[in-house]
A = this chain, B = another copy of it.
Amino acid sequence: MKLKLFLCLLFGIFTINTFAQKQQPNKLQIGQINRGYGMFIHFGVNTFNETEWSDGSLPVSSYNPAHLDCDQWIKTAKEAGFRYVILVTKHHDGFCLWNSKYTDYDVASSPVKTDVVAEVAKACKKYGLKLGLYYSLWDRHEPTYKNDFPAYLGYMKNQLTELMTNYGDICELWFDGNWDKKEEEWKIADIYKYVRAMQPDCMITVNHTIGKPTNIHAIQQPLDYKDGNPIRYFPVDFRIKDPNLARWDDPKYYTYNGKSYYLPFEHTLCLSDRWNWFQKKAILPARPLDELEELYYWCTANNNIMIMDVPPDETGRIRTHERFRLLELADRLGIRDGKSPLPAGPVNLTFDKAVKATSETNGHPAKMAADYSLETYWEAKDTVASLEIDFGKSTVFDRVSLMENADMKDLKDGFSYIRTFKIQQYELQYFSNSKWDTFYTGDLIGAAKIINLPEKITAEKIRLKIMAASGHPSISHIAVSENSTRGLRRYDPAK
């Protein structure tokens, strides 16, 4: 007993010491975590030119929305249950969505002179949403960027003064495009201090906050998110690494000059099934509802937050089918019109459980279908395959969600892509009383399939049997849970 007590005390001291080195989330971070779910808006000269990125040479006259309706954007955001909006005020092309004194490459010089930042800010006030802004550090239009970089840093500060003083409270500021220069050239500490003085409550960050930039075309696991990893830009208030998905259990503490800082992660997700950030002329499909529901739970778990890109089209409005999909998701989550608190998904019972499969391809073992990453996946060698999860004890569930990993085909623009899913026929079985029993038969899974069972199952194991597929079946995640474990989502000090 005495030894135990001694060990407890020792452990207690050790914990306190470790704890002492780590900075706790501050009030602003807790506020941001609780805000949780935002709409990301890409709109600008690219919208009118069928492109995701442009080099600053697209004519300002091409920006020409016939029915610009920023009120409709924010009304939709409110109805869809979003708590805040992040507006792209200037993308890498340098085109400014507000009337900037410092450039003619802006809305004021275009056929439609409406100050979009002002209109969005007004609508956010009207609908009770917070406003955040995105500003690209990289600027492919402004001549000083190439000719006189110190002058460009001044240009940026001038524009940031416009953005930070003319549009009321700004809850977040996102810097992007930093990869075009070395980290230190951006003088982030200076900019941070400059912005902070104008907007004391603004959460500021730089993409990608942690780790080296990866090929943004691929979905890659942010393996560099390890507790204690160095912070690339300092200071920052939260992490982004567009377009990666963090691990469900991603750590929160990162270091700068040996000191530990708490940094929540803001996920970025496209509503579009083609993963286009800027709208295109063609009607592109929205992501399936089941996928959006699962991604919402994943991206807002573990004190992380999520913004979803909903780009207005060349008429200046959010498209009906995308608006409807957002409203359907809001109905699923019970947050229509923002009247209810954000929900948390049910507790997933497959994490860390023993997984085996009839076959695996190199680098994609069975366990990756039930690990903490959505970016890893199990892949079978054959078109017929089984994946089995052993709970290790009698387990009750009434919800299964399957997320299939797709074959990706890049589209011509080099950013967006088409996904092809392969599973064509499958069964779900549970193991109880020493035998397997089939409780669900399905054909296609697609990006995600949520199966809510009409009654609870008690089982020791679960098995996905794939009977037909057009290629190697591949599952990025299988979640098993009890619907009754759903709860409300807010900052949880335990995480």
Q: Which residues of B contact A446 (CB under 8 A)?
A: 443
> When A331-B454, A454-B331 are in contact, do A324 and B283 touch as well, CB less than 8 Å?
no
Tell me how many residues of A have a C-beta within 8 Å of chain B.
28
**Distance, CA A320 to CA B462, complexed state (A):** 14
Query: Contacting chain B: which of A34-42, A238-246, A372-380, A432-440?
Result: A432-440
Q: A443 to B285, Cβ gap below 8 A?
A: yes
Contact of A438 among B273, B319, B328 (CB under 8 A): B319
Q: Is there a chain B Cβ closer than 8 Å to A327's Cβ?
A: yes
Whether A438 pairs with B320 at a CB distance below 8 angstroms is yes
- How far is A439 from B327 in the complex, measured between Cα atoms in Å? 12
Whether, in the assembled complex, A184 has its beta carbon less than 8 Å from a beta carbon of chain B, the answer is no
Contact mask for chain A residues 442-483; partner B; CB cutoff 8 A; 1 contact, 0 none: 111010000001110000000000000000000000000000
- The answer to whether A327 and B455 touch (CB under 8 A), given A320-B437, A440-B321, A443-B446, is yes
Are A321 and B439 in contact, with the CB atoms below 8 A? Answer: yes
Whether A202 is near chain B, meaning CB under 8 Å from some CB there, is no
* A33 part of interface (Cβ distance < 8 Å): no
C-alpha spacing A442/B325, complex, angstroms: 11
Nearest-neighbor residue (CB-CB) of A453 within chain B: B324
Query: Once the chains bind, are B285 and A321 in contact (CB under 8 Å)?
Result: no
Decide if A321 touches B427 in the complex (CB within 8 Å): yes
The reply to whether B321 and A283 contact each other, CB–CB distance below 8 Å, is no
**Which residues of chain A (119-171) have a CB below 8 Å from chain B?**
none
> Contacts A285-B425, A427-B283 given: A321-B454 contact, CB under 8 Å?
no
A441 contacts partner chain B, Cβ-Cβ < 8 Å: yes
Scoring A336, A441, A443 by chain B CB atoms within 10 A of each residue's CB, the highest score goes to A441
A-B contact list, 5 entries, CB within 8 Å: A320-B438, A321-B427, A324-B440, A327-B455, A330-B454
